[in-house]
Chains A and B, each alone.
Chain A
């Protein structure tokens, strides 16, 4: 009876394994990198690990240099009202949703609450400042957070509402070494966002 149960349990697992064989990490080469209607310019090659990220909506791309625990660069296509950066795992556990008409501070809240929804703890923002995405006004700010295990995380984020759609670039990395190591490249990426 137990053997039968195990076989029943493992059959879908085998299907899952065969499906996941299609999933892979791809190269994001230096130069313009298109994410839907948005384009960023990468100063060096990154790995696009979007395909293996958990709870990632289709409009969110994730790049990394050393793996998602050491550096994460989220770049979104324009999020329409009702869309999110982190996909909810159940109706009873909703994640932050972009809504039409959000005030600037609500856009910052959308990003910080999304970071919290990714299981980071004690998320705080600092140094809110203006930014430009093409001709549109945007916001830049810094983040501090911790992993559940207590690792200090630093972040840099940029949000801009362009024609009713939200474009987000978010970089997260451990405060020790990894954040500063990629920050010059991230500044280049943040300044390069083009829409349309």
Chain B
């Protein structure tokens, strides 16, 4: 079934891209605290955005840490004081670099972005970029662009509905139809993402303009002028480290809906803006930002590894480790990346990294259990015994205690391999 659907998905993606490839119609910058009439085109977009906001609020992927959400909301308030009360930003635990802001003022910041920005200055730049799209009504421009091509969009919707319903009808049972619909969900997702892209996949001109607006808002709020270019450089470098050629061959994107890459021209434009503005030292700012995300660092790194793009994960971990903090945790997740990748020589790299992680006070307790497993595989029985014993001493209530005790018993009997 997926083999049949996949080429269709590619075709529809191309069609969706073609739908969006027209010049935008103009829209006026938005005045604060105004709500469009329900009968206007903007009113219709607001209604859709409110539905999306409700889904985001109720999603199990929403990060409900009040301190983290208050922190992000506080940064937005510094960047856009005139829109106080108009903008609501939710943190979502999704391991991809993404921030977006809908026309009704609802926004999302994904954990993959919070994990990759290294200071409040970088976060302020990217949120300022999104506020720029919001303030300049870029999504309304994009919507009017889409409307100009509505006939083609209807064709996409028609095809997707036909695929999904046809397959479901032929499933043979109502229960089974659920999973056929799930299969078709990939196509519906494509349409959904295509529609979102209509609102958030801005024109190249809009993206460059939002970079400039984000820069101005961030600098006006006292943030480091060099932060925007620095963030885009990091993103470009990480994309180039991907384990997958297709990802490496793409240029970095500022969010998953972006149709225009973070090009070297955009970085240079930000560098030129920053050159005219005094920079400020940011080491202390990086430490302060790390303190904000530290409670979520382990969970977000684990989520990132589930993408299984170990090249990108290792590049990210190296960047995070360069700050000199959280060395036990970061070295543990570097070891996890090697162990899970399991390429030639990776298990030895993993064993060494687990051993190194164990020298730091913040190493997770699982460090010693996995170190024991890999050390045993490497034939070092005394080393394995020491690691297992350290694990049991540090985690006396571990649910796998019996398993580790069994390994130790075999080691003492000389039968473990």
Could you tell me if B373 and A25 are in contact, using CB atoms closer than 8 angstroms? no
Give the residue among A55, A66, A95 with the most B Cβ atoms within 10 A.
A55
Q: How far is the CA of A158 from the CA of B403 in the complex (A)?
A: 15
Stretch at the interface among A126-134, A159-167, A170-178, A180-188: A126-134
C-beta contact mask, B179-197 vs A, less than 8 Å → 1, else 0? 1101100100000000000
- Report the nearest A residue to B180, measured CB to CB: A52
Could you tell me if A13 and B163 are in contact, using CB atoms closer than 8 angstroms? yes
A196 contacts the other chain (CB 8 A): no
Q: How far is the CA of A126 from the CA of B400 in the complex (A)?
A: 9
Could you tell me if A121 and B403 are in contact, using CB atoms closer than 8 angstroms? no
Give chain B nearest CB distance to A59 CB in angstroms.
16
B60 contacts the other chain (CB 8 A): yes
B322 contacts the other chain (CB 8 A): no
Residues of chain B touching chain A, judged by Cβ–Cβ distance below 8 Å, are: 1-2, 4-6, 8, 11, 58-61, 151-152, 154-156, 158-159, 162-163, 166-167, 169-180, 182-183, 186, 244, 246-247, 306-309, 339, 342, 369-370, 373, 377, 399-400, 402-403
C-beta contact mask, A14-28 vs B, less than 8 Å → 1, else 0? 101101110111000
Which of B58, B175, B244, B309 contacts A64, CB < 8 Å? B175
Could you tell me if A148 and B176 are in contact, using CB atoms closer than 8 angstroms? no
A31 contacts the other chain (CB 8 A): no
Could you tell me if B59 and A148 are in contact, using CB atoms closer than 8 angstroms? yes
Could you tell me if A150 and B60 are in contact, using CB atoms closer than 8 angstroms? yes
Contacts of B156 in A (CB 8 A): 9
Could you tell me if B173 and A47 are in contact, using CB atoms closer than 8 angstroms? yes
Contacts of B308 in A (CB 8 A): 93-95
Could you tell me if A89 and B2 are in contact, using CB atoms closer than 8 angstroms? yes
- Report the nearest A residue to B250, measured CB to CB: A92
Q: How far is the CA of A89 from the CA of B184 in the complex (A)?
A: 13
Could you tell me if A20 and B159 are in contact, using CB atoms closer than 8 angstroms? no
Interface class of chain B by DSSP? helix
Q: Known: A25-B173, A92-B244. Contact between A130 and B182, CB under 8 A? A: no
Q: How far is the CA of A2 from the CA of B172 in the complex (A)?
A: 33
Give chain B nearest CB distance to A9 CB in angstroms.
4
Q: How far is the CA of A129 from the CA of B176 in the complex (A)?
A: 33
Could you tell me if A9 and B159 are in contact, using CB atoms closer than 8 angstroms? yes
Q: Known: A69-B178, A148-B59. Contact between A6 and B158, CB under 8 A? A: yes
Give chain B nearest CB distance to A65 CB in angstroms.
9
Contacts of A150 in B (CB 8 A): 58-60
Q: How far is the CA of A126 from the CA of B246 in the complex (A)?
A: 38
Can you list 15 pairs linking A and B with CB atoms under 8 Å apart?
A2-B154, A10-B162, A20-B167, A20-B170, A21-B170, A23-B172, A47-B175, A52-B172, A54-B2, A55-B183, A68-B179, A91-B244, A99-B342, A127-B399, A149-B58
Q: How far is the CA of A9 from the CA of B162 in the complex (A)?
A: 10
Q: How far is the CA of A175 from the CA of B78 in the complex (A)?
A: 44
Could you tell me if A16 and B186 are in contact, using CB atoms closer than 8 angstroms? no
Residues of chain A touching chain B, judged by Cβ–Cβ distance below 8 Å, are: 2, 5-6, 9-10, 12-14, 16-17, 19-21, 23-25, 47, 49, 52-55, 64, 66-70, 87, 89-95, 99, 101, 103-106, 113, 116-117, 121-122, 125-130, 146-150
Q: Which 6 pairs show the lowest CB-CB distances between chains A and B? A: A67-B175, A54-B183, A9-B159, A17-B166, A103-B373, A24-B172
Contacts of B175 in A (CB 8 A): 25, 47, 49, 64, 66-70
Q: Known: A23-B170, A52-B171, A128-B400. Contact between A148 and B61, CB under 8 A? A: yes
Could you tell me if A13 and B159 are in contact, using CB atoms closer than 8 angstroms? yes
Contacts of A101 in B (CB 8 A): 377
Contacts of B183 in A (CB 8 A): 54-55
Q: Known: A23-B170, A24-B172, A104-B403. Contact between A89 and B186, CB under 8 A? A: yes
Contacts of B169 in A (CB 8 A): 17
Q: How far is the CA of A129 from the CA of B4 in the complex (A)?
A: 41
Q: Known: A5-B155, A17-B167, A21-B170. Contact between A130 and B402, CB under 8 A? A: yes
Contacts of B177 in A (CB 8 A): 52
Contacts of B6 in A (CB 8 A): 89-90
Could you tell me if B166 and A20 are in contact, using CB atoms closer than 8 angstroms? yes
Q: Known: A5-B152, A52-B180, A89-B6. Contact between A128 and B399, CB under 8 A? A: yes
Contacts of B166 in A (CB 8 A): 13-14, 16-17, 20
Contacts of A125 in B (CB 8 A): 399
Could you tell me if B172 and A113 are in contact, using CB atoms closer than 8 angstroms? no
Q: How far is the CA of A67 from the CA of B307 in the complex (A)?
A: 29
Could you tell me if A128 and B306 are in contact, using CB atoms closer than 8 angstroms? no
Give chain A nearest CB distance to B223 CB in angstroms.
34
Q: How far is the CA of A49 from the CA of B162 in the complex (A)?
A: 23
Q: How far is the CA of A10 from the CA of B11 in the complex (A)?
A: 12
Contacts of B151 in A (CB 8 A): 2
